[in-house]
């Protein structure tokens, strides 16, 4: 496709024409261009509500079976991102991850997955009935975070589980750490297995040479990318990319249509159309500016006593093949403060909202919408906090991230089994029927089907003591957790079921 074709915005252009034609609407949504909700319209403006239309209007196409302007917009996106096929997502990257897993794995099938995968992967396992084979990521003890997975761990998992249907990889982690994706792809393909990539935080990779390789550049088969996170489209708009001899795109589309809404948001899809045009034509320049701003802020904050901001020095260490410089992972443990405390101070004293916090870090995400003023405000706030609040050499957190969780039954089996509720503090030895996680970044501490250990309970207590709001359980305070009602009986029933399936 020629570069000048990337100037097109077929869907956005069709929407603008629809509004300009002053079409009288007798279709949903009921606000009829905003007239039915004047207070909201007064605040957000006329145009955004004018293009909030419904699927099925002939010239505006249908995302479930695109034949017109959406199809053309997706073709342009595939070309821009280096894929054979692209599918617009309005249910976020979560729906893309679900579609990827549903398209390659079914009940009882194994799929190789990093332990630090996002909660959406667990949801996909429940929907598909697949059984996870977890790979332990490398853990950085000082930062207190999971890094990437190694090619050796992928090879070992494939040797030990030759019937696994696919390998799932995160590119990059929430904190910007990228594994050696090209080598992982080569290993998986040598076993005849497709590689599925959660690229929620890597949609920008293909558009600047100083960023890690994108999934498509590395030869992966599928990638779900959050265009809204770093490329500029509206929240909840993402894209699913396919470039594979091992995966049929028609099957991918069929899997998408199981969970994709039939009433997609046209403003979200239009923002994907325009964001694709912008990143395709101006991405190199925009990202060059973003990287320089973030690197400058990183240098300034690393001069502050008690502060360490992760950078490219971690490249080449175990678990980190490449690092995304637009991420500002600010480690505050030498201040004697938790990341949760620093996030609150930034929010309520400096009116700065970071992406997430954990026990030792706060994560600020640099993106194309940032400028020198916003980065300077962050640097000054961190400097001020270090001077005013720092309690040198105070160690607050003793618990560490639990490792080697035991998967007893599949997530799907656990989800549909009879359950009972027990206090979390008294749940040691039980089989969890729920997820338990700190969100963000949405990495499960325990997943449905796993045995709850003393380490899991202690880690959850440590997170709560530091003000982290745990999620995933029906109990909003995570004081109680659902477990399998008849632990031993359910285990026997599960293995009988698995045996019959095989």
CA distance 298 to 331: 11
The mean pLDDT of 32-44, rounded to a whole number, is 93
Mean pLDDT over the full length of the chain = 92
Q: Is residue 84's pLDDT more than 60? A: yes
pLDDT in tens, 231-242: 999 999 999 999
The mean pLDDT of 53-65, rounded to a whole number, is 89
The mean pLDDT of 479-489, rounded to a whole number, is 85
Q: What pLDDT is recorded for position 116?
A: 87
What tokens does 461 get?
Answer: 């207590």
Answer with the residue of higher pLDDT: 461 or 89: 89
Q: Delimit the CATH 3.40.640.10 region(s) of the chain.
A: 3-280
DSSP string covering 155-216, please? HHHHHH-TT---EEEESS-TTSEE--HHHHHHHHHHTT--EEEEETT-TTGGG-TTSPPPTT
Give residue 176's region: left, alpha or beta (phi > 0; psi -120 to 50): left
The mean pLDDT of 72-82, rounded to a whole number, is 97
CB 240, CB 223: distance < 8 Å: yes
Q: What pLDDT is recorded for position 1?
A: 67
Q: Delimit the CATH 3.90.1150.150 region(s) of the chain.
A: 284-389
What's the pTM?
0.91
Q: Is residue 489's pLDDT more than 90? A: no
Q: What pLDDT is recorded for position 135?
A: 92
**Out of 154-158, 306-310, 471-475, least confident range:** 471-475
CB 386, CB 330: distance < 8 Å: no
Q: In sequence order, which ranges of 262-404 are alpha helices (DSSP H)?
A: 266-302, 339-350, 372-389
**Out of 140-144, 146-150, 234-238, 402-406, least confident range:** 402-406
Architecture of the CATH domain 411-501 = Alpha-Beta Complex (3.90)
The mean pLDDT of 342-349, rounded to a whole number, is 96
The mean pLDDT of 362-367, rounded to a whole number, is 96
pLDDT in tens, 389-441: 877 655 455 556 677 788 999 999 999 999 999 999 999 999 999 999 876 55
Give percent of the chain above pLDDT 90. 78
DSSP string covering 224-266, please? EE-HHHHT---TT-EEEEE--SSS-HHHHHHHHHHHS-SS--H
Answer with the residue of higher pLDDT: 88 or 140: 88
CA 320 and chain centroid, separation:
18
The band of 329, judged by pLDDT with boundaries at 50, 70 and 90, is: very high
Q: What pLDDT is recorded for position 164?
A: 98
Q: Delimit the CATH 3.90.100.10 region(s) of the chain.
A: 411-501
Q: Any idea which fold 3-280 has?
A: 3.40.640
pLDDT in tens, 381-402: 999 999 998 776 554 555 566 7
Q: What pLDDT is recorded for position 500?
A: 46
Q: Is residue 496's pLDDT more than 50? A: no
The band of 488, judged by pLDDT with boundaries at 50, 70 and 90, is: low
The band of 442, judged by pLDDT with boundaries at 50, 70 and 90, is: low
CA distance 118 to 368: 24
Q: What pLDDT is recorded for position 491?
A: 54
The mean pLDDT of 76-102, rounded to a whole number, is 97
Q: Any idea which fold 284-389 has?
A: 3.90.1150
The mean pLDDT of 337-364, rounded to a whole number, is 94
């Amino acid at each position: 496709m020629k570069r000048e074709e990337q100037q097109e915005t077929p869907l956005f252009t069709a929407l603008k024409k629809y509004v300009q034609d002053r079409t009288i609407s007798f279709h949903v949504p009921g606000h009829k261009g905003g007239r039915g909700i004047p207070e909201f319209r007064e605040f957000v403006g006329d145009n955004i509500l004018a293009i909030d239309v419904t699927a099925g209007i002939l010239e505006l196409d249908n995302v479930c079976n695109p034949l017109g302007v959406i199809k053309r917009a997706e073709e342009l996106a595939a070309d821009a991102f280096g894929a054979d096929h692209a599918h617009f997502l309005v249910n976020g990257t979560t729906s893309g991850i679900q579609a990827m897993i549903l398209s390659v794995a079914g009940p009882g099938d194994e799929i190789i997955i990093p332990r630090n995968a996002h909660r959406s992967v667990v949801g996909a396992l429940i929907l598909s009935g697949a059984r996870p084979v977890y790979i332990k990521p490398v853990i950085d003890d000082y930062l207190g975070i999971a890094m990437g997975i190694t090619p050796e761990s992928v090879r070992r998992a494939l040797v030990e589980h030759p019937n696994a249907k696919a390998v799932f990889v995160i590119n990059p982690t929430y904190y910007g750490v990228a594994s050696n994706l090209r080598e992982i792809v080569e290993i998986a393909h040598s076993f005849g297995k497709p590689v599925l990539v959660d690229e929620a935080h890597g949609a920008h990779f293909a558009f600047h040479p100083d960023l890690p390789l994108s999934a498509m550049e590395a030869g992966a088969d599928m990638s779900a990318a959050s265009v809204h996170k770093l490329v500029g489209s509206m929240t909840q708009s993402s894209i699913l990319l396919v470039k594979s001899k091992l995966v049929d795109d028609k099957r991918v589309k069929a899997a998408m249509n199981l969970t994709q809404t039939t009433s997609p948001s046209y403003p979200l899809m239009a923002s994907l159309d325009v964001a694709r045009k912008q990143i395709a034509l101006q991405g190199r320049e925009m990202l060059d500016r973003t990287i320089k701003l973030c690197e400058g802020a990183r240098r300034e904050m690393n001069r502050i006593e008690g502060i360490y901001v992760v950078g490219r020095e971690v490249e080449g260490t175990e678990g980190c093949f490449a690092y995304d410089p637009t991420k500002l992972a600010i480690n505050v443990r030498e201040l004697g403060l938790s990341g949760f405390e620093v996030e609150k101070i930034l929010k309520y004293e400096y009116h700065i909202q970071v992406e997430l916090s954990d026990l030792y870090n706060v994560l600020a995400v640099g993106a194309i919408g940032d400028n020198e003023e916003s980065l300077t405000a962050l640097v000054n706030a961190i400097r001020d906090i270090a001077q005013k609040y720092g309690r040198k050499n105070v160690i607050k957190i003793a618990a560490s991230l639990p490792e080697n969780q035991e998967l007893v039954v599949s997530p799907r089996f656990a989800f549909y089994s009879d359950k009972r509720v027990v206090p979390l503090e008294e749940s040691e030895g039980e089989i969890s029927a729920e997820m338990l996680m700190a969100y963000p970044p949405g990495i499960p501490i325990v997943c449905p089907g796993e045995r709850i250990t003393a380490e899991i309970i202690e880690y959850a207590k440590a997170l709560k003591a530091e003000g982290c709001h745990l999620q995933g359980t029906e109990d909003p305070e995570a004081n109680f957790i659902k477990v399998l009602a008849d632990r031993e009986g359910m285990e026997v029933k599960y293995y009988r079921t698995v045996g019959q399936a095989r």
